[in-house]
Amino acid sequence: MKTFRAELHVHTVLSPCAGVEMIPPLIVQSALENKIQLIAITDHNRIEGGLVAREYAQRHGLDVVVGEEVATADGHLLALFIHEVLPPGRPIEETIAAVHAQGGLAIVAHPFDLISNSLLGRGGRRWTAQDLAALGLDGVEALNGSLVRHVGNVAAVHLAGELGLPTTGGSDAHHLSPIGGAHTRFPGHTAEDLRRAIIEGTAQADGISWRWVQYISWIAGCLVPRTIRRAREAVRALHGA
C-alpha cells in the first residue's frame, strides 16, 4: 500500500522560541513545498495555533491535526486529535487519561532528550518497563528532528520496540526550514487514516534530523533574540522594583 508523509511536531509563533515567520500561511506553504500531506500543530501548552492553522489549511488542500505539546510533571507529551487545551504540570498518567477522554492520542515526545524535559532524559522519576507499559501511551516519537544527541532517537526506537508501540517522527520545527525533514509514514492520506495507522501500529518514523545550518538559523533567529529580550525585561523589573 502506498504511504504518505505526516509532519507531527510543528510549533507556531505562539510557542516560546519560535520564529516570527511561524504563522499558518507560511507553515502550510512550507509543508506543501516539502510534499507533506498532513501536519500536526503542537504548540507548548496551548491549541489556538492549531485551530487557526486547521481552518486556513483546509482551504489549501492540507489536513491539520490539532495537538499540543504538554509539559507534564514527568516530561513532554504530544497530545494529538484534541479539541480542548490540557493544563501543564500534572503527572503524565493523568495527562494521558485526559488526552484519551477527548478521544485523542498520546505520544511521548523526545523521551531521551537531555535538554528539554523528557520522560527518560531529564524527568525526575525512574521508570521500570512495567511502569512504562502501564502508562497507556499510543506511540513513541522515535525521530525528533531537533535532537542534538542523535543517540536519543536511537534509544527511542528501542523503547518503542520494547513497549510494542508505533513510532512517529516530527521535526519539532520552531522555524520554517526543518518542516517535513523528520516525519511519519502512514498508509492513507487523511487525518483519520493517520489516526487509524497509529492505533493499528502501521505508522512509522522516517526522515532526517536538522542540519547544522538549521540549528544555527534557529539560534540566531529565535534563541538569541529571546535571551536578549528576557535580559532586558529582567533589567527593567530590577529598576522598577
pLDDT tens column, 199-214: 999 999 999 976 767 6
How long is the chain?
241
Nearest to residue 195, comparing CAs of 99, 56, 87? 99
Query: CATH classification of 3-210, choosing from 3.90.950.20, 3.20.20.140, 3.40.50.150, 3.60.20.10?
Result: 3.20.20.140
The domains of the chain are located at 3-210, 211-241
The pLDDT value given to residue 105: 98
The pLDDT value given to residue 221: 65
The pLDDT value given to residue 232: 75
Cell digits for 144? 525528533
CA angle at 187 for the pair 201 and 29, rounded to the nearest 5°:
115
pLDDT-based confidence at residue 53 (cuts at 50, 70, 90) = very high
End-to-end alpha carbon distance in the chain:
64
Per-residue pLDDT averaged across 44-72, rounded?
96
Q: Whole-prediction pTM value?
A: 0.89
The pLDDT value given to residue 241: 54
* Mean confidence (pLDDT) of the chain: 91
The pLDDT value given to residue 125: 84
Cell digits for 126? 525512574
Nearest to residue 36, comparing CAs of 205, 232, 189? 189
- Distance between CA 51 and CA 57 in Å, rounded? 10
Question: 104-108, 123-127, 156-160: which range is least confident on average?
Answer: 123-127
- Distance between CA 163 and CA 12 in Å, rounded? 31
Question: 15-19, 123-127, 131-135: which range is least confident on average?
Answer: 123-127
How far from the centroid of its chain's Cα atoms is residue 155's Cα?
18
Per-residue pLDDT averaged across 57-68, rounded?
94
